[in-house]
Structure 1
């Protein structure tokens, strides 16, 4: 019989995931120990929400506004870029000739052309995913790896509040999921902004782990086979692998842990332990969870529709996640090499891979959700961490430019066929209606029925606003 001794370390969200796994063996995804998932009095609800779920399409690297949704055909030749504009279904919106499918459904999309912030390097991924300015400074995007002192990602806040909700034990999936990898994984990094930070690692995203073939491979630029696209969670229990006896042993271990550590936790933490334990056990044995992560259940035609490249299949998996009930799903187009949305060198990859790949997948996602009756309850947010410099190079690469760049919103009652904000003649700065990352974050929280002025407590029990400034863009919703 195993016995667990008292464990003395404590933070506001309980033990770290590593500590929990050390103490609790398999750990049931790190969701089973009361010190990790201590549920306090609920401070946020998901009632009166515009959206049941958010799909956050994160185009890491910085897509060019001038080659996508804020083209300036009347600008000088050094500014306007190599691509021709085409008309869309949105009055006044001309977009790239390589986004023909998106042009045909623009009546379902709100295009914000005036996202802006001063953090002009890739660590702006922290700002975009959290709604908070980065707490560190580093030239040229150095010091990229996440720390426990960073602000929590929006998805982590959603996960935190979901676990505190009265129906937490009934939810069959984690509520913050990251696809197809943690941001930076294909470069051997753990980029800032995607984690729970000071909220506690127990609220990190549940991330899948799709690998490259080799160091030179770019799975976003090519078709991927089924062996590569195995989104199933390795080690997730199957009916055969997890017997009732094994579950009983794990439950017994948890009870011992509970008794050994009760003196280190207040009564409020333990009030809701039973439902947290129930949720953990339901996740580890969930047939629905195993099924949701099995992309092979989709038809060949549907998978072709999204595109067999990594972004396409990850977006299809994102649809499967919200269909199964997850609240916040990030689908990332990462940068496994130097030829991605961080397009310093040439427009060639934009023309051949990036824009066509996005065009196919984005329109497939919106159309598919609409056909399934899910678009009205799913907010789709599409954004990079910045845009590109107005003046291009001779080969039409562009540098970093965070002062004016686009964001697309669709679904969940968003008014389609709408342009929000106007940039100057070179798409360099907002002229009217600038939108900050704080504004966007508050809009996302508000759409989910979370009070955008909510306060959480940090590790020192100080009340901290989930977003410090800004206001939700309620006028973009019908």
Structure 2
């Protein structure tokens, strides 16, 4: 066996486990493990599937879905005059405007709602992965136990819709880029067990490779290695540090992946099966391909799907310079495939039971870092007067106002919820929303009760801290 084939084999085995043994032993308490669950009576649901469209890196709300006064670029313009670098354009909803470049998403807002008053938590020094951890788990890091990703809670509480398709699939984020370990920290089922962790697909265009043996390895040979791997796993000194529950969960995770490997439904992951016209509409790059694969998965029984534009420091939405020109490209990346995803699910009758959420960890501002009244170290040097176009745009982290979009899954059509100020600071000023409300609104759509919790190390661990989060019922029809 050559080195490349051996490395490919090892990578595939890692995917089958859905979480590494080392991560399990490092983050899971070994005593007083998962001992009980308490939920109220079964709740009615308005959704069966969730798709999270993750705008990783800090998407500026005033440049996207909540435009303010437009200030076109001119050399010598004052930074304080810059609130939006794009003119606003109408959407399918009266009195709702987006910024230029998001016309396609705007055309489907009559099928969804927008929250314009999301406020990110005050976590001290602003770090992308710290805020992303908080958004995806609802818990502030660090925790004494590893908090489960929202997708893992959903996979655990609702189970698979299709026994062959992994209930939680995460696409688009590689773990070979900056802050990789921090990103891995919230891509986890934590104490819920490996079987509820994400099935990771870094590159959706190679999605089929995630569900088949490495190139050059026969199925017979792979099955022999799979059998040996199971035997070694049960004897591993790492596994001995985990509870019986965790051992069994890891084995069930492997078995689930093995079922998919042997199923004709593995072809769902093969984007070459999509008609060319449809493929070309979605294909703006890895994110667009992720939206296409999300459509195929939602139509075939995935429970929770996330598609990320990918967080890599100083790239994507992480616009520490060249904010305007970078956003032109980011809008081209996301606008058409997101709108097509909504249209396709609507036309096939799937949108009604599929909740789609578009969000980012926080927003951005041209001159203000953090939020008003709380001085935080500036992470970008922004001149008072702009003489170079690279300073034209939103370059500083802003946590006091942001936008979240939702479609389907029982959400009201054409709803505008909350408001931010029209002048700097463009903070939330009406119906402020925080992360536990967002999570509980998603759980509400799926029929998961707010009091759902497990006892870990002798204390209850809720879906949202202390079980205090409440859904925003005004979002629902």
**How far has the Cα of 1:236 moved from its partner?**
2.4
Q: Which residue of 1 aligns with 2:442?
A: 444
Does the alignment pair 1:203 with 2:196? yes
Tell me if the contact between 2:169 and 2:306 (Cα under 8 Å) persists in the aligned partners: yes
> Of 160, 163, 166, which aligns to 1:171?
163
Tell me if the contact between 1:404 and 1:423 (Cα under 8 Å) persists in the aligned partners: yes
Q: Which residue of 2 aligns with 1:69?
A: 65
Tell me if the contact between 2:16 and 2:253 (Cα under 8 Å) persists in the aligned partners: no
Indicate the SS of the match to 1:159: helix
Find the aligned partners of 1:302 and 1:403 in 2 and give their Cα distance: 38
- 5+ residue gaps, structure 2: 1-8, 26-32, 72-77, 369-381
Q: Which residue of 2 aligns with 1:455?
A: 453
Does the alignment pair 1:359 with 2:350? no
Does the alignment pair 1:151 with 2:147? yes
Distance 1:314 1:455, change over 3 A: same
Q: How does 1:330-345 map to 2 (within 5 A)?
A: 330-336=306-312, 338-345=314-321
Q: How does 1:267-346 map to 2 (within 5 A)?
A: 279=256, 281-288=258-265, 290-336=266-312, 338-346=314-322
| TM-score when normalising by structure 1 | 0.75
Find the aligned partners of 2:211 and 2:293 in 1 and give their Cα distance: 19
Find the aligned partners of 2:226 and 2:262 in 1 and give their Cα distance: 15
Distance 1:150 1:428, change over 3 A: farther
Find the aligned partners of 1:67 and 1:55 in 2 and give their Cα distance: 23
Tell me if the contact between 1:81 and 1:396 (Cα under 8 Å) persists in the aligned partners: no
**How far has the Cα of 1:418 moved from its partner?**
1.0
Q: Residue by residue, what CA displacement relative to the aligned partner does 1:134-173 show, whole Å, maximum 9, x if unpaired?
A: 328xxxxxxxxxxx944211012223335xx5x78x6111
**How far has the Cα of 1:354 moved from its partner?**
0.8
Q: Which residue of 1 aligns with 2:110?
A: 107
Q: Residue by residue, what CA displacement relative to the aligned partner does 1:285-314 show, whole Å, maximum 9, x if unpaired?
A: 2221x2121111111111111133111011
Does the alignment pair 1:403 with 2:400? yes
Find the aligned partners of 2:38 and 2:207 in 1 and give their Cα distance: 33
**How far has the Cα of 1:361 moved from its partner?**
1.6
Q: Which residue of 2 aligns with 1:128?
A: 135
- 5+ residue gaps, structure 1: 1-20, 137-147, 211-227
Distance 1:347 1:133, change over 3 A: same
Q: Which residue of 1 aligns with 2:469?
A: 470
Distance 1:351 1:267, change over 3 A: closer
Q: Residue by residue, what CA displacement relative to the aligned partner does 1:214-235 show, whole Å, maximum 9, x if unpaired?
A: xxxxxxxxxxxxxx92122347
| TM-score when normalising by structure 2 | 0.75
Q: How does 1:51-70 map to 2 (within 5 A)?
A: 51-70=47-66
**How far has the Cα of 1:425 moved from its partner?**
2.4
Distance 1:231 1:125, change over 3 A: same
Q: Residue by residue, what CA displacement relative to the aligned partner does 1:412-432 show, whole Å, maximum 9, x if unpaired?
A: 121121110011223622111
Q: Which residue of 2 aligns with 1:230?
A: 206
Please tell me the root mean square deviation across aligned C-alpha atoms, in Å: 4.2
Tell me if the contact between 2:119 and 2:400 (Cα under 8 Å) persists in the aligned partners: yes
**How far has the Cα of 1:364 moved from its partner?**
1.1
Q: Which residue of 2 aligns with 1:160?
A: 156
Q: Which residue of 2 aligns with 1:250?
A: 227
Aligned length in residues: 419
Tell me if the contact between 1:113 and 1:421 (Cα under 8 Å) persists in the aligned partners: yes
Does the alignment pair 1:116 with 2:116? no
Find the aligned partners of 1:125 and 1:94 in 2 and give their Cα distance: 27
Indicate the SS of the match to 1:232: helix
Is the helix fraction higher in 1 or 2? 2
Q: Which residue of 2 aligns with 1:187?
A: 178
